[in-house]
Amino acid sequence: MTSPLKHIKVLDLSRILAAPWAGQVLADLGADVIKVERPGMGDDTRSWGPPFLKDKDGVETKEAGYYLSANRGKRSITVDLNTAEGQKIIRDLAAQSDIVLENYKANTLNKFGLGYDDLKVVNPRLIYCSVTGFGQTGPRRDHAAYDFMIQAMGGLMSVTGERDDLPGGGPQKVGVPIVDLMTGMYTAVAVLAALERLNVTGKGDYIDIAMLDVLVSSMANQNMNYLVSGNPPKRAGNKHPNIQPQDVFQCSDGYIVLVVGNDSQFAKFCEVIGRTEWATDERFSTNGKRVRNQKILLPMITKILLQKSMKVWADQLDTAGVPCSAINTIPEVFEDEQVKHRGLFIQVPHPTAGTVPQVISPIRFADAKLSFDRPPPLLGQHTRDILGELGLDSAEIDGLAARGVI
């Protein structure tokens, strides 16, 4: 089996997380992703630690865990974009590429002669995707942005966290950089759609992706809850705004997440806890009624669940087909039998550490394979190989190095 994108070359001019995440998605699918980095410094996230990967002797490397999470499968070349020779290298690479990913501030690469209008001259079929905080237009187009800030601006923190009137209440960010990750996924979808269109029209395209746009679009049911009702959604802790009972409940020895998704599951839940009459109770018989009467229902559920252990309830609810789960720590996730069965954790050979742990793509094909054999690259690890593919000989490459271009 071959990888779906084995024939595709991606020129990745991005750093941090959103666009690099898209590059990793494409690399997992088999694309040859060339990561362009600053000489001597590289991607900012290389230094975003601790923790840092340790080499075979147990000494910390310069590869932070953050960097290692988003750059698997790529080849690294160092190029100084401030030099004419460096700009020529990028143009030559673009001429051989199918996709360019970049996340500089709006118009930055235009100043180097590396904007879309410049590169489409050397490659009219090029798909060029710019990922920024606010897009290429609008009053904030020139502003920098980070995930945390966009979570605040886009409304996510207004619906995340415990109620203000309860202990621990107040706005919270999501525990992973979810805007970056969602932006990376939208970016991957967009460039793959453009590739398919290229197959039909023969024309490349320019794609403008903004982190704020992504979050506003991703607020999903919370957006519509407001647009339909006119009532601004509020923080409600772990309670689902539209489906009940869905919450964290305390048992005799810990906590369990209960996720009742429909009336049939609620009836099964009532059987397990010995309250079959609730399924036909006029206050709780439908989801809408349970949402409206949750202040009555949820304390009653809590009182019952406190009587037994988390494992006893989880076993009984699982057997009955009622979705529930313990709240796992990250180590517990990797010990979960389903996670182990799906093979999400692997060790990939690494040039200095021996191996590097990786959590692989969730995509599964019946008749194609994904590629996980190339670790996140060392800074500039593939510079000579890539320049050699452009036709430069050893003396020319040595000259570029001596002049600080690479």
Is there a contact between 401 and 88 (Cβ–Cβ < 8 Å)? Answer: no
**Residue 313 has which token pair?**
């309830």
Rg (CA), the chain: 25
In 260-383, DSSP assigns E strands to 324-326, 345-350, 354-359
* Separation of alpha carbons 217 and 44, rounded Å: 28
Torsion angles phi and psi, residue 31, rounded to 5: -65, 150
Beta carbons within 8 Å of 357's beta carbon, 6+ residues apart = 345, 346, 347, 348
Task: Decide: 10 and 26 in contact? Cβ < 8 Å.
Answer: yes
- Using CA atoms, how far residue 175 sits from 148, 172, 259, 336, in Å, is 10, 9, 20, 20
CB 25 within 8 A of CB 190: no
How far is 279 from 62, CA to CA, in rounded Å? 58
DSSP category for residue 44: G
- Report the 10 Å Cβ neighbour count for 261: 13
Eight-class DSSP state of 176: S
Active site residues: 180
Q: Reduced to 3 states, what is the DSSP secondary structure of residue 323? A: coil
- Show the CA angle centred on residue 344, arms to residues 187 and 340, nearest 5°: 155
* Cα(218)–Cα(213) distance, integer angstroms: 8
Task: Give, rounded to a whole angstrom, the gap between the first and last alpha carbons of the chain.
Answer: 36
Burial class (CB in 10 A: 0-12, 13-18, 19+), 237: middle
Rounded to whole angstroms, the Cα distance separating 382 from 51 reads 25
